[in-house]
Chain A
Amino acid sequence: MIAKQTNQKAWFMVLPVFLVVAFSAVIPLMTVVNYSVQDTFGGNQFFWVGMEWFRDLIHSERFHDAFLRQLLFSGIILLIEIPLGVAIALAMPKKGWGVPVCLISMALPLLIPWNVVGTIWQIFGRVDIGLLGHSLASLGVNYNYTQDPLAAWLTIIVMDVWHWTSLVVLLAYAGLCSIPDAYYQAAKIDGASRFAVFRYIQLPKMQRVLLIAILLRFMDSFMIYTEPFVITGGGPGNSTTFMSIDLVKMAVGQFDLGPAAAMSLVYFLVILLLCWVFYTVMTNVGEESRKGGN
């Protein structure tokens, strides 16, 4: 760490960023707060309803369902992608021509526009024209993601694993590359097993990177919108209607401004709370490892 100098004039350097982000974040958020406590009969006539929308929301089954689906989805995504990403990063070559090949091909899914990711899997999974759907059908598996909720879930989960595991791999790989060779040599002299090397050298060194990977994957899967929207449109029925999809349906589709605004605020607060928890944990872990002399 560099010892920082106290200088209040530094605010002038931060000011442009502050203003732009405030313009894009605070004004819209105020609009949302404004709508969340009012009702309208159309036109531009609003009247005060207080906490009514929030009360409705807390007791609304639709919200509970979307929220639980969202939690389940994010949980499954984390359980699959984090171990898988770490395993792949551990098996990746450390030097030679394999490194750029791996990095480039693995970064590829990250740079495809999200709706195109949806389109790719929509085509790939279709029974009539897609490789996956057709192969499964010829194996006798009854697979149709537009009608079967389970198949729709599986398709979206496999798609997300396809899309985002690379991020975990790249982060974990960056963490692994920062371990000096001396550590491995010392482990070899001590006769440490492969598992011991992983448990006592690689895992602690990857700790911070992994926390960031978990944080990013959790946040992004919690706000997932485009891909399921393209593949299933939230269906069949409501089985893949996650929070963002539900919110956009309510705000733009039905134009229910009040309830949508209330839901936006609750949604945002949940994310903010989780973000704060992760951030605190992360900085604490960072400080502890610094105190520990690492």
Chain B
Amino acid sequence: MRWKWLIPALYILFLLLPIYWLINMSLKTNEEILSVFSLWPQNLTLANYRVIFTDASWYSGYINSMIYVSINVVISVCFALPAAYAFSRYSFVGDKHLFFWLLTNRMAPPAVFALPFFQLYSSIGLFDTHIAVAIAHCLFNLPLAVWILEGFMSGIPKEIDETAFIDGYSWPRFFIRIFIPNIASGIGVTAFFCFMFSWVELLLARTLTAVNAKPISAIMTRTVSASGLDWGVLAAAGVLTIIPGVLVIWFVRNHIAKGFALGRV
């Protein structure tokens, strides 16, 4: 048992190696990448990052991604809150079927929806807008948000509701003043997962945008197919997409395991 720590240590090493390699590439010039094979940059350069921060076609991708991800998180959490409350506190006609139907949408392959979404949003004039991507991502994020929040809310004793109503609180006032502070960590975890799944999704975001709302991930694939050579800039763009994730993990590090445990179990 003394060597038990080796297993997670080796696994983490396996996880970090490819990421280290990406960072390594992003700090090299293109000539160095293609000519010398070295484990660390010989001539450290930030030129690749400078390209991304000065070229609008690159950095606008990050802004676009951030905008639609934020809209999606706000919509998902605000809409899912009352629904999750209903599922956790009341039984009503068709509640189980509705819950299952919501979950099936989490399981729907985005590839099935790509083309119909394109036609739907084109026909209502929302194609290439941030709101279109945000609503499209609700397809899998809303069910997930309801699922996670329902788990957290079921952990709150029902007496809290009843006491508040006896004290003369109206439902909206009770919900905002008492209930939401009680499940604050649950809302944090939900926002984390909505952020995560909207941030990493490519297929729908790419299908629904052309110029104005093009996400960074789509810009990266375009660069791969067009030149396929500028590895340094590509690696730098990749490193920059990892940073928001790291920041979000840092803020919710104490809730991750709890969120998985309560939200999905």
Return the contact of B14 from the options A129, A162, A178, A272 (Cβ within 8 A): A162
Mark contacts of A38-63 with chain B using CB atoms, 8 A cut-off: 1 yes-contact digit, 0 otherwise: 00000000000000000000000000
Report chain A residues within 8 Å CB of B100: 276, 279
**Additional A-B contact list (11), CB under 8 Å, known A223-B111, A252-B115:** A2-B154, A5-B91, A7-B91, A14-B83, A24-B117, A24-B136, A114-B202, A115-B202, A129-B25, A226-B202, A247-B112
B242 near A16 with CB under 8 A, answer no
B5 near A98 with CB under 8 A, answer yes
Q: A111 with B242: in contact, given A5-B89, A21-B143, A104-B253 (CB under 8 Å)?
A: yes
Residue A294 at the B interface, CB < 8 A? no
Q: Which of A231-286 contact B (CB under 8 A)?
A: 243-245, 247-248, 251-252, 257, 260, 264, 267-268, 271-272, 275-276, 279
B-to-A contact residues, CB < 8 Å: 4-8, 11-12, 14-19, 21-22, 25, 33-34, 37, 39, 75, 79-80, 82-83, 85-93, 95, 98, 100, 102-117, 119-120, 135-136, 138-139, 142-143, 146, 154, 157-158, 196, 199-203, 207, 216-217, 220-221, 224, 231, 234-235, 238, 241-242, 244-246, 248-250, 253-254, 256-258, 260-261, 264-265
SS class of chain B's interface: helix, strand, loop or mixed? helix
Cα distance A29–B108 when bound, in Å? 11
Query: What are 7 A-to-B residue pairs whose CB atoms are below 8 Å?
Result: A4-B91, A28-B113, A104-B250, A225-B110, A230-B221, A251-B111, A260-B115
Question: In chain A, what residue has the closest Cβ to B245?
Answer: A111
B116 near A28 with CB under 8 A, answer yes
Cα distance A219–B197 when bound, in Å? 14
A88 near B87 with CB under 8 A, answer no
Report chain A residues within 8 Å CB of B33: 129
Report chain A residues within 8 Å CB of B104: 272, 275
Report chain A residues within 8 Å CB of B8: 88, 91-93, 98, 102
A123 near B235 with CB under 8 A, answer yes
Cα distance A264–B115 when bound, in Å? 10
B90 near A271 with CB under 8 A, answer no
Residue A18 at the B interface, CB < 8 A? yes
Q: Which of A165-196 contact B (CB under 8 A)?
A: 165-166, 169-171, 173-175, 177-178
Question: In chain B, what residue has the closest Cβ to A11?
Answer: B92
Chain B nearest CB, measured from A116 CB (Å): 5
Q: A28 with B117: in contact, given A102-B8, A115-B220, A116-B242 (CB under 8 Å)?
A: yes
A178 near B261 with CB under 8 A, answer yes
Residue A197 at the B interface, CB < 8 A? no
Report chain B residues within 8 Å CB of A208: 265
A134 near B37 with CB under 8 A, answer yes
A-to-B contact residues, CB < 8 Å: 2, 4-11, 13-14, 16-18, 20-21, 23-25, 27-29, 31-32, 87-88, 91-93, 98, 100-116, 119-121, 123-124, 128-132, 134, 162, 165-166, 169-171, 173-175, 177-178, 208-209, 212, 216, 219, 222-223, 225-226, 230, 243-245, 247-248, 251-252, 257, 260, 264, 267-268, 271-272, 275-276, 279
Chain B nearest CB, measured from A269 CB (Å): 10
Q: A108 with B249: in contact, given A88-B7, A123-B235, A251-B114 (CB under 8 Å)?
A: yes
Question: In chain A, what residue has the closest Cβ to B154?
Answer: A2
Cα distance A162–B13 when bound, in Å? 11
Chain B nearest CB, measured from A150 CB (Å): 21
Question: In chain A, what residue has the closest Cβ to B1?
Answer: A194
B37 near A219 with CB under 8 A, answer no
Question: In chain A, what residue has the closest Cβ to B204?
Answer: A24
B249 near A31 with CB under 8 A, answer no
Chain B nearest CB, measured from A60 CB (Å): 17
Return the contact of B257 from the options A8, A10, A13, A174 (Cβ within 8 A): A174
Cα distance A123–B257 when bound, in Å? 31
A222 near B109 with CB under 8 A, answer yes
Cα distance A113–B199 when bound, in Å? 6
**Which of B17, B86, B146, B258 has the most A CB atoms < 10 Å from its CB?**
B86
Cα distance A28–B199 when bound, in Å? 23
Q: A116 with B220: in contact, given A2-B89, A174-B261 (CB under 8 Å)?
A: yes
Cα distance A276–B6 when bound, in Å? 39
B80 near A17 with CB under 8 A, answer yes
A18 near B98 with CB under 8 A, answer yes
Report chain B residues within 8 Å CB of A20: 75, 79, 135, 138, 142
